[in-house]
Amino acid sequence: MKTHPITLSLSRPSDRFDQYPTLEHAHVDPDAISVKSWANAAQTPELLRAVAAIKIMDTRSIATLRRSWTVDLVTAAIDIARARLSAEGRLDDAHLLIADHDGAQQATPTVLAAWKARHIATSCLGRTVFDAGCGIGSDSRELAQFMEVRAIDASASRCWMAEQYASIKTRQAMLHDLDQVCGDVLHMDPARRDRAGNRLHNPATWSPNIELAREAWDAHLDACLMLGPGIDLGQFEVPQHVQLAFCSRNGSLIDTAAWTGAVATFDGPRTAVQLHTGSLRSGDPSQPQGGPAPRVGQFLHLPDPALERAGLLHLEATIHSLWEPAPGLGLLVGDLAADSTWLEPWRIDAVLPPRRKAIAQWLKANDGGPVTIRTRGGAVSEVDRLARTLSGQGGTPTTVFILRLGRKISAFVAQHVPS
């Protein structure tokens, strides 16, 4: 049965400092609360208003709520409020979400879910998608715009939450074997947290684990399998026929998708995707051309993290006549500022020894104010402490790149070049 939730308007945590200081690391097992309690909490306006009115949600405030409502109703209402706050800017209709906080945090951002759904629909329109591990339904919701979705999740409560959010039918189940897949296309986003909400960095501990992904790859299924933003590709070998898409949004890497079968339609084994611009770069991973150390008047270029993780810096380097001053540095240098959404150019104003005194003297002579330190290659530790030490009384915010170029470490004072 479809539940019609009450809209709960809360200020963002930044506006109230932190509305839930005692709950920052609190974990609610969604199945420890009945589906009926989740539904009742979402449909009890007095409770939702009471939760919204509390500026600091501490144990005393929770005890006050429990004088009027049951423990389960209060717990569900607070977690729904936390879920909606965490989903703002990430999920469409976040203000209507009925979900536990962890479920909302783990949910695929709408911009990524929509991109995946459109890509799958391009080659598989009219077919059925099997969404294994649907969570609260953010992927299923977008997939259902184009095709029939059959979804499962190990959590009964999250199955119900997905039905509310995505308007689909679900079934409580855990995917243990590919014979369970009842659809033309498999979409699988493994749970990368344990029951206590802790992150699981080892793919062998995911649910379903990475072995099932390997089986899907070996079977050449039409599939999209999510590997997470921080996946260490050195932990396991990816077959040549599997295409990897590294997805970023506004300068942050947010996920990695592995594509096989009919949905593996990119122009190379690696693809970088900018979800905020819709731009793609595809090709074979390779190293950019090397070149000399940066000089004053030249430009450092910071790459989009998706481009770097995909190993495709060489594509932009070739287009814009750039080079990498040290193998694996991940920064490109050129005589001109590249006009590309994939690169962020910085004009070099000074090249200095990496000594604190030399940098401080330059900053004092050039009206240096607040300092930001950026580093690569393990050139410096305690970055924040160094930035505080160097920050002066001047009016010019300054960025200093401290980079290891081979055996030499240098400091580069640079100014961002607006696009």
The answer, yes or no, to whether residue 71 has pLDDT greater than 80, is: yes
CB-based contact 163:170 (threshold 8 Å): yes
> Could you tell me which of 314, 238, 214 has the C-alpha nearest to residue 272?
314
> Of all residues in the chain, what percent carry a pLDDT higher than 90?
75
31/200: higher pLDDT: 31
- List all residues 6 or more positions away from 36 whose beta carbon is below 8 Å from its beta carbon: none
Residue 369 is inside which H or E element, if any?
Answer: strand 368-376
Q: Give the CATH class of 110-283.
A: alpha beta
CB-based contact 100:79 (threshold 8 Å): yes
> Of all residues in the chain, what percent carry a pLDDT higher than 70?
94
Output the pLDDT for position 232: 84
Quick one: pLDDT band at residue 13, thresholds 50, 70, 90?
A: very low
d(C-alpha 359, C-alpha 356), whole Å: 5
- List all residues 6 or more positions away from 171 whose beta carbon is below 8 Å from its beta carbon: 150, 151, 152, 159
pLDDT digits (tens, 9 = 90+) for 124-183: 988 999 999 999 999 999 999 999 999 999 999 999 999 999 999 999 999 988 888 999
The ranges assigned to domains in the chain are: 13-105, 110-283, 299-416
